[in-house]
Structure 1
Amino acid sequence: MFRKHYFIEESRKQWSSEPAFVASMAAAAVGLGNLWRFPYMMGENGGGAFVVAYLIALVVVVMPIMILEVAAGRLTKGSTVGTYRQAGRFGAVYGWFVVLVTMAITSYYLVITGWTLGYAVDSVLGDVRVFEDFSSGFNSLWYFIAVTALAALVLARDVQAIERLSKILMPALMAVVLFLVYRASQTDGWDETRDFFFRVDWDRMLDGSLWGFAFGQAFYTLAIGQGYLVTYGSFIPRKTHVPRACITVATVETSVALLAGWMIFPFVFSFGMEPGQGPALAFETLPRVFTGMAGGGVLAILFFGLFFAAAFTSSLAGLKVMIAAVAEEFRLHNTNAVILVSVVMLVLGTASALSFTPLEWRIAGEPVLDVVDRVAGGNIIIFSGITGAALLCWFIPPQRIRTVLGSKSRWWEWRIYLVGRYLPVVVLLWIMITYGASLIGGH
């Protein structure tokens, strides 16, 4: 018993304050999901219609689940598996499912983080290339290995290292993004971007696939159903106001995602490029921007350096979910858990890394990375988030969650349990209606 207690206490060193938690959680949320994934998802899914659907999903559904997951982590002060075990035997099984989902996402996330490191290095060397040239060799593999090793070194020092990084990097990243938005506003593509954001094709709002992508992106960027929130919530200091902290994180995350669109699309339209280019959108567009810009060399160093930093802190969050679960469930020292998880990541991530090398590893003609991103970062994330919320809301009494929210108002408690308990029913009905309509249409 003492040995189990020792490992739980060792892995539960707290954030120093509520602002420190907000900075660290924002750094985990603000990463590739905002700067890389949001613009290309928006480009592929109708611009303004996607933004509207995304914001509705965020406010109505995702925010209550985010607060619930953070509160649950604070309540149990355990890993993802330990937290969901409070909901019964199936809860523990689901907890491991979450760890596996996070493992799949992080395996390719580290590859893309490696791309950002490679671009940061190239910008220092004055040789920023478009993605096709960058990936013509084995850069994806070598930088993936380097990033994974660097993450292992940072995580061996536990949460204080993440906190210190986050406090420095987030303000600097925001400053560079805002400057690039200002420069983008001076381009010929600014007016077209404004139309792309604000001209909504309301007919598309009836498209179920649009809502699927919007909900998937909202769940992805706020790390719903991935164990991040539960794990980071387990480190929260006692006096933290959970709803306020989560709203702050969500506001920062959404602002950066929208600013990323305003930063990238004016240049996309100015260069006559298509917005629906997919995962390589940012890496195809920004090198062209910096090459043709006065002082672009210095700006490239700043941007790609901070782009790497944002991606890296998000990678640390994903790895921390797995490390906390492995250390706690198998009673391992933090360092041993870090080594074990890092080795697993190197094995799993290699397939995604090699899909953007001359070997061109594919699944059904698509790069492995693209397939894993679409599957693990889409419907599986939505399923995971909804299932986790249902388990917490149906099997953990509201009064227990209330004790750790840090808020005297019961409004958030009411909203959390309304969404958590009845969203699965709504989704099931929607699937049945959609499936039934498709069968009728087929006949």
Structure 2
Amino acid sequence: MPATDAARPGTETSKDRGQWTSEPAFIFSMAAAAVGLGNLWRFPYLAGEYGGGGFILAYLIAMAVVCLPLMYLEVAAGRLAQGNTVHTYRQVRRSGAWYGWFVVGLTAVITSYYLVITGWTMGYAVDAVRLDVGSFSDFSDGYASLGWLLVVLALGAFVLLRGLKALETFSKFMMPVLLLVVVGLVVAASRTAGWAEAKDFLLDTDLSALRDPSLWVIAFGQGFYSLAIGQGYLVTYGSYIPKKTHVPRASLIVAGTETCIALLAGWMIFPFVFTHGLDPGEGSQLAFNTLPRAFEAMAWGAPLAIAFFGLFFVAAFSSSLAGLKVILSTVAEEFRLRHRKAVVVVIGLMLVLALPSALSFTPLELSIGDTRFLDWVDQNVGGQVILFSGIFGAGFFCWLVPPSRLQRALGTSSRWWVARIYLVGRWLPAAVLVWIAITVVW
């Protein structure tokens, strides 16, 4: 049932919602949502699989040319509509609610396996404190993946029940700690024997690799994934922005922070990988399968393991909270549920959706073909579907929302920001179709 202006007391509606207390509060909260597994887990393993420097260059180009304007657009759209994701798309055109539900569904699927990986990080952090970090194969021999999922869901429910203020407080605490730990681990990595090899791997760029279309698909997909474009995060968090916030400035700070931490994650991980002769192309299990062996062989391995996996958990949990908030705001407002009841519904839904991913790394080894269920979802939903969602959503907004309305939502009098957004948003879908046609022909 769509949300209406009249709702019984205690329910959430799009017109009765909180706000971030300030622009810095929004920046901290959005950065905490963006700087998560996409940077500390996904970015390093993709850089390892796709040759290091070439992937990083393509990723930076994608971020500067396309991803940033789309980020401005989605945050401004959320601010303009002042509601959940479905409400935002419905405000543009009534039939847009269908696409809004698609975005929320996409976010639910991504968050479901995010929660499982968050459980892994919590399990590894606890094992590190107990000085008993084992291999990932040992971890997945039993049902630890399922057990830690339940713990993470319970912790997520606790934070969500405390509302928007709890998210803001958590983010203000988490971001400085996260940055401090990352920098500390990079300093430690710089003293390893593999630092020089890691530097060559991350900085040397084979320009011929840029002619590979698949590299660009992966780079753009990671850009969309990292900034949460096309997933409802930006729209939802943007809907809570205070009136005086300069959206492009705030978004640029968030994107810059996210990119810096992603690059630092590479400098943090790969020196350890090369020092101990490990495989940089290990894939999605890079951090969990290779780094415990690296820490075990180091003189200061125990405290580094605690810091690294503790960092991993905090970053993963912040991103999981952001995904849960997108789903929660939509469920509460669209179905006019009391906050507590909406939290229970969302946590129950996520438990059902996350079970297959959790069970894929247990003795059941739930798979699709030869690929574990979690990996299959990440490869398909976390890549191609996100690209489609972000590109379609940009076209939807830019062709149907007048530039003057969006400019007011951006909080700036400069038309340059609007011109850049509409140039990318309106013509990116056509450019992608042309690119696909050329790729197929050639």
Compute the TM-score of the two structures, normalised by the length of structure 1.
0.96
- Residue by residue, what CA displacement relative to the aligned partner does 1:115-151 show, whole Å, maximum 9, x if unpaired? 0110111112111122122222111010011101210
Gaps of 5+ in 2: none
Residue 206 of structure 2, aligned match among 189, 201, 224: 201
Q: Does 1:13 align with 2:48?
A: no
Q: AA paired with 2:7?
A: R
Asked whether the 8 Å contact 1:54–1:215 carries over to 2, the reply is yes
Q: Does 1:369 align with 2:349?
A: no
Asked whether the 8 Å contact 1:220–1:381 carries over to 2, the reply is yes
State the SS of the aligned residue for 2:134.
coil
Divergent runs of 4+, >4 A? none
Identity within the alignment, %: 61
Aligned 1:16-415 pairs, distance under 5 A? 16-415=21-420
Aligned mates of 2:8, 2:271 — CA distance in 1: 54
Aligned mates of 1:100, 1:200 — CA distance in 2: 38
**Farther off after superposition, 143-152 or 367-376:** 143-152
- Residue by residue, what CA displacement relative to the aligned partner does 1:25-62 show, whole Å, maximum 9, x if unpaired? 00000010000000001111111110010000000000
Q: CA deviation at 1:11?
A: 6.0
Aligned mates of 1:27, 1:421 — CA distance in 2: 29
Q: CA deviation at 1:285?
A: 2.8
Aligned mates of 2:400, 2:92 — CA distance in 1: 5
Q: CA deviation at 1:79?
A: 0.5
Tell me what 1:441 maps to: none
**Farther off after superposition, 190-199 or 22-31:** 190-199
Asked whether the 8 Å contact 1:267–1:285 carries over to 2, the reply is no
Tell me what 1:2 maps to: 6
Q: CA deviation at 1:89?
A: 3.4
Q: CA deviation at 1:375?
A: 0.6
Q: CA deviation at 1:298?
A: 2.8
Aligned mates of 1:407, 1:427 — CA distance in 2: 30
RMSD over aligned CA atoms reads 1.4
State the SS of the aligned residue for 2:290.
helix
Residue 424 of structure 1, aligned match among 429, 434, 437: 429
Q: CA deviation at 1:102?
A: 0.5
Aligned mates of 1:401, 1:14 — CA distance in 2: 20
Asked whether the 8 Å contact 1:107–1:345 carries over to 2, the reply is yes
Q: AA paired with 1:3?
A: A
Aligned mates of 1:350, 1:333 — CA distance in 2: 26
Aligned mates of 2:305, 2:49 — CA distance in 1: 26
Q: CA deviation at 1:297?
A: 2.4
Aligned mates of 1:219, 1:140 — CA distance in 2: 27
- Residue by residue, what CA displacement relative to the aligned partner does 1:311-340 show, whole Å, maximum 9, x if unpaired? 101001001111111111111112111111
- Residue by residue, what CA displacement relative to the aligned partner does 1:410-443 show, whole Å, maximum 9, x if unpaired? 1111100111001101001111121222xxxxxx
- Residue by residue, what CA displacement relative to the aligned partner does 1:207-263 show, whole Å, maximum 9, x if unpaired? 110000000000001000000000000011111110000000001000000000001
Asked whether the 8 Å contact 2:273–2:294 carries over to 1, the reply is no
Aligned mates of 2:55, 2:113 — CA distance in 1: 24
Gaps of 5+ in 1: 438-443
